[in-house]
Amino acid sequence: MSSELFRIKPGQKVRISGPNGSEVNALVRTVSPVVDTQNRTGTVYVDLPAAANSVLKPGMFVRGEFEFGSSAALLVPQQSVVVRDGFQQVFLVGSDQRVTLHKVSVGRRQGDMQEITSGLPPDARVVVRGAGFLTAGDLVKVAP
């Protein structure tokens, strides 16, 4: 997408996937300074390792995935987060198998996982199924 082209920088890692499913790790050499006005695409030049010659051939259509960074995150299933009294909360299972409701702050969402940015100790036991049907103090059975 041309609106994201400015984020790609020389030296950045890129994973190239070939039509046969093969993958090669490469580095961005340079990014074209212009975008095609007809189809809103840009050109990125990538340096491939020598080993890529065995799986990628000139003229082949490939897909590139650029790494823009990563960070550690505390994730819970999206269905664990319930909205009560206008706040996002999760149920925690105590040592007595009873649940308590805790306010949390949420961040990014990826697929069916939700990032918890604050309010949840890393070692907490979180209800992952049926949280929407619970109330504080309910007795639950922990399944392996």
% of the chain at pLDDT higher than 90? 56
Q: What would the DSSP string read from start to end of 71-131? A: ---EEEEGGGEEEETTEEEEEEE-TTSBEEEEE-EEEEEETTEEEEEES--TT--B--SSG
In 3D, which of 42, 32, 44 has the Cα closest to residue 3?
A: 42
* Domain assignments of the chain as residue spans, ordered by start: 2-66, 74-133
3-state secondary structure of 48: coil
Q: What angle do CA 131, 132, 137 make, to 5 degrees?
A: 60
Residue whose tokens read 């918890």: 116
Q: Check whether 97 has a pLDDT greater than 80.
A: yes
Condensed to tens digits (0 to 9), the pLDDT of residues 31-63 reads 988 888 888 888 899 998 887 778 888 888 888
Amino acid at the residue 124: A
What is residue 68's predicted lDDT score, i.e. its pLDDT? 78
Other beta carbons less than 10 A from residue 80's beta carbon: 22
Residue 125 DSSP one-character state: -
* Token duo for residue 141: 């059975």
Structural fold of domain 2-66? Elongation Factor Tu (Ef-tu); domain 3 (2.40.30)
What architecture is domain 74-133? Beta Barrel (2.40)
Identify the band that residue 110 occupies on the pLDDT scale cut at 50, 70 and 90: confident
Residue 50 DSSP one-character state: G
* Token duo for residue 87: 């706040």
